[in-house]
Amino acid sequence: MIYVGVTGWGDHDIYPKGIASRDKLKEYSAHFPAVEVDSFFYAVQPARNVERWVKDTPDDFRFVVKAYQGMTGHERGEMPFSSREEMFNAYVESIEAFAESGKLAMVLFQFPPWFDCTKENVDYLRMCRKRMERFPVAVEFRNRTWFSPHLQEKTLQFLKTEGWIHVVCDEPQVGEGSVPIVLAATHEEKALIRMHGRNTAAWMKPGGKNWRATRYLYRYHQAELEQWKENILNLQTETKDVFVLFNNNSGGDAAGNAKELIHLLGIQYKGLATRQLDLF
């Protein structure tokens, strides 16, 4: 199956006017069968939040849950845990409701641009996999060394051997801090594609004015989506389920592009939530 969705459900143009924030996930799940939960990146969420999200979505809905920033080396300042073990244990406990409901698609480890292909980092990936052994886990690299000509096949084989889901990325190609499109599945059950847009000018300018607001400012054209349709169908021959998440929402384009791709793929999802009526 091909699951198409977006990253987060807070800010999209698919909602009726005046909808309360607490009702947005219910409405979101009337449009898309999957979503990325990015709030976990900033803080390990209380179990009650997860239980509510599970309750608010249909049986066939799936969550891609981001790993906490301390688990991927993004954290700044003092970590709110006394040890790495406590951090991982708290995270695992917090996502139990996702797993128990059958709605956990995978946990997404998105590593920073400085996480390059070294023995130390390979060992860290092994440690992460061991600590998360009960859950499907995906890895997204943002350093090109993992896919350099002499290491790409070794990287893919390592991910396959260790049970990692390889994240295929569409993003600007601007040097070491970006990765090429590598159309390969390393897990027989699942693959993940993340569509970041192609805003080359803003991609590698951290700290600049409005950088975070403009980095993902991009709308995919139909020709680009048609190419991705072919990519997705090819990838589907290597694995059972393909998840496609649009992250290009600085200008509100993610949901629209996701719906365009669903149309191009000719998908009519069954089991979505009942859509609310916008009467005014």
DSSP string, 194-241: EE----HHHHT-TTSTTHHHHTT-----HHHHHHHHHHHHHHHTTSSE
Handedness of CA 179, 110, 248, 213 (dihedral sign): negative
Q: Is the domain defined by 2-265 classed in CATH 3.40.50.11270?
A: no
Better pLDDT: 156 or 199: 156
* Residues 15-57 pLDDT 10s: 998 899 999 999 999 999 999 999 999 999 999 999 999 999 9
Q: Residue 220 contacts by C-beta under 8 Å, 6 or more apart in sequence?
A: 195, 197, 198, 228, 248, 253, 257, 260
pLDDT of amino acid 280: 41
pLDDT of amino acid 203: 77
Q: How many CA atoms lie within 13 A of 260 on its CB side?
A: 16
To which residue do tokens 């459900």 refer?
A: 9
* Residues 87-135 pLDDT 10s: 999 999 999 999 999 999 999 999 999 999 999 999 999 999 999 999 9
pLDDT of amino acid 81: 84
pLDDT of amino acid 272: 94
pLDDT of amino acid 212: 64
Better pLDDT: 121 or 275: 121
Asked whether residue 277 carries a pLDDT value surpassing 80, the answer given is no
> What angle in degrees, to the nearest 10, is found between the helix axes of 119-131 and 152-162?
20
pLDDT of amino acid 71: 96
How far is residue 225's CA from residue 158's CA, in Å, rounded to a whole number? 30
pLDDT of amino acid 20: 93
pLDDT of amino acid 208: 56
* Residues 61-93 pLDDT 10s: 999 999 999 999 887 777 788 899 999 999 999
Asked whether residue 206 carries a pLDDT value surpassing 70, the answer given is no
At residue 279 the predicted structure's pLDDT band, cuts being 50, 70 and 90, is: very low
pTM of this prediction?
0.94
Residue 5 is given by DSSP the state E
- Name the residue ranges covered by the structural domains of the chain: 2-265
Task: Over range 187-212, report the average pLDDT.
Answer: 82
* Residues 217-239 pLDDT 10s: 899 999 999 999 999 999 999 99
Q: How many CA atoms lie within 13 A of 186 on its CB side?
A: 25
pLDDT of amino acid 209: 57
